[in-house]
Every structure is written in structure tokens, then in C-alpha cells.
Amino acid sequence: MERTELDGSVALVTGASSGIGEATAVALADEGASVVLAARSGGELDALADRIEGAGGDALAVPTDVTDGDSVAGLIEAVREAYGRLDVLVNGAGVIDVAPLEAADPDALRAMVEVNLLGLIRVTRRALPLLAAGGGVVNVSSVSGREAAAGYAGYSASKFGVNGFSEALRREVGEDLRVTVVEPGLVDTGLVHGADGEDVAGPGERLESMTPLVPEDVAAAVVYAVTQPRRVAVNEILLRPSGQER
């Protein structure tokens, strides 16, 4: 089957220290891409880079905070220095806090917008000059970027923003780049278990009611999007667990 081969290409994945980003970095490396791994947790990134290189791949760990302009500038500079180009950008970094709006922690509300939306815009804007013609930008949105639910006001606002940004970018870059929004339903990652291992109210409870996706399911969707022949732009992929209603 005709496809775009990733062998020899360069991919940058944010949110690569865990969950969907980690699985996506591994999947892209398995396809032959050199992967640049970005997130705040340097130790996790180093361990992942070792794992990828141990399996015969090529990886570069660059600790990055997507909410910090200087940090993002340093990330893109590191990509330029190491590879001089970029073929695939996967914006996976994200945070969630589920609560009724009145009870919501203002810092958590701000963080969802700062990381999920503004961080994604910041990284994309900085990466654009490096992105090679025919390359791809994959933005990890969510079902919550298409349908809002009670308790998800901040999260949905950020993810609806990601979808709007992605569509505007698609129209702006035209044939040069392919822009994809990936919208997973519930995925079994640290995001839904919370930092302290406690289930995050909402998505955590829902884990009990269905068999969730695993990060590799989402990684496979990303690989599908970026390996299509150049004439094919996969603009949107919505994937839910079979048992998830909304």
C-alpha cells in the first residue's frame, strides 16, 4: 500500500514523558523517525530515549515547559541544531482538572488553557519555520474538543480552542503541511488517574464503566495520519472506547 515512509524523518513529540505522547514517540521511532522528546520531566525523557535507542532507534530528550516561551524556543533550537529540519510535530502535552466551575481551582483552570491551548500554539508557531513541506502537525485534542460536558468547562474550552486553532492552521498552510486533530475518548493514562494515583473525578470514575483505550491505540491513529500518501490529509480522527457513549 502506498504510504509516506518515516524512515529518516524527524518527529517532535510534546508530552512524551508519559501516556499518549510516550506511546506515540515509540511508535514513530519504530517507523524509523528520529524522535525529539519534550516534556518537563527530564528523567522520564532520558529513560525513554534510552529505551528507544536500545531498540535501535534515534531519540533526543529535551526537557521543556510548553508554558514558557524561552523553554520552547530552546526546544526548537535543539531540534534545529541536532537535525536541521522537522517533518512531524505531535502536540501531546496536556493537563486536566474536572470540577464544577464554581468549585474549580483558578490555577487549574489557568493551567488547562496555558498548557493545552497556549502551549500548543506556542510550540506550533515556533516549529513552523522548521517544518518541511509535506510534513504534518498532529494536535491531540479530545472528545471534549467536540462535545462539552458538565465539570469539563476549562478542559473543553481548551480543547475546543485546539480544534479551532487547528482548522485555522490547516487553511493557512494549505498544501505545504497536513494538519490533523486527534480526538480520543477515555484513555488509560496518568491523566485520568491524577498525580497522586487517585482517580481524577469524572474520567477516573468512568474508567470503571468501560474498557478504556490504551495509549498505543492513539499512537496508531497518529502514525496512520502521518504515513498517508502526501496527497491525503487526514484532518480529524475521533476514537472512543467501544463502550463510551459520548
Ligand X SMILES: NC(=O)c1ccc[n+]([C@@H]2O[C@H](COP(=O)([O-])OP(=O)(O)OC[C@H]3O[C@@H](n4cnc5c(N)ncnc54)[C@H](OP(=O)(O)O)[C@@H]3O)[C@@H](O)[C@H]2O)c1
Q: How far is the CB of 115 from ligand X (least distance, A)?
A: 5
Assigned C-alpha cell, 1: 500500500
Name residues contacting ligand X, limited to 143-182 (CB under 6 A).
none
What is the Cα 215 distance to its own chain's centre? 11
Residue 95 engages ligand X in binding (rule: CB under 6 A) = yes
Out of 9, 124, 142, 227, point to the residue binding ligand X (CB under 6 A): 142
**From 5-13, 97-105, 115-123, 232-240, span contacting ligand X (CB under 6 A):** 115-123
Position 13 contacts ligand X (CB under 6 A):
no
Task: Single out the segment in contact with ligand X by CB under 6 A; choices: 82-90, 163-171, 183-191, 223-231.
Answer: 183-191
Contacts of 152 (CB under 8 A, 6+ apart): 98, 144, 202
1-5: list long-range contacts, CB under 8 Å, 24+ apart: 2/229, 3/227, 3/228, 3/229, 4/134, 4/226, 4/227, 4/228, 4/229, 4/230, 5/31, 5/32, 5/227
Nearest approach, Cβ of residue 102 and ligand X (Å): 23
Decide: is 65 part of the binding site for ligand X (CB under 6 A). Answer: yes
What's the closest the beta carbon of residue 92 comes to ligand X, in angstroms? 5
CA-angle at 36, arms to 33 and 42, nearest 5°: 145
> Does residue 187 touch ligand X according to CB under 6 A?
yes
Binding flag, residue 191, ligand X (CB under 6 A): yes
Among positions 4, 6, 10, 17, the unique one binding ligand X when judged by CB under 6 A = 17
CB 36 within 8 A of CB 79: yes
* Binding flag, residue 115, ligand X (CB under 6 A): yes
Q: Using CB under 6 A, pick the residue from 192, 200, 223, 226 that binds ligand X.
A: 192
Measured between alpha carbons, how far is 197 from 33 in angstroms, rounded to an integer? 32
Choices 78-86, 87-95, 101-109, 166-174 (CB under 6 A): range interacting with ligand X: 87-95
Q: Which amino acid is at 183?
A: E
85/240 Cα distance (integer angstroms) = 33
Figure out which of the listed residues 21, 135, 202, 241 binds ligand X, where binding follows CB under 6 A: 21
The residues that are catalytic are 155
Number of Cβ atoms within 10 Å of the Cβ of 41: 14
Among the listed residues 9, 11, 12, 14, the single contact to ligand X using CB under 6 A: 14
Q: Does 234 bind ligand X (CB under 6 A)?
A: no
CA distances from 99 to 148, 200, 203, 239 (A): 13, 9, 11, 24
Residues in the site for ligand X, rule: CB under 6 A? 14-21, 39-41, 64-67, 92-96, 115-116, 119, 140, 142, 184, 186-187, 189-192, 203, 215
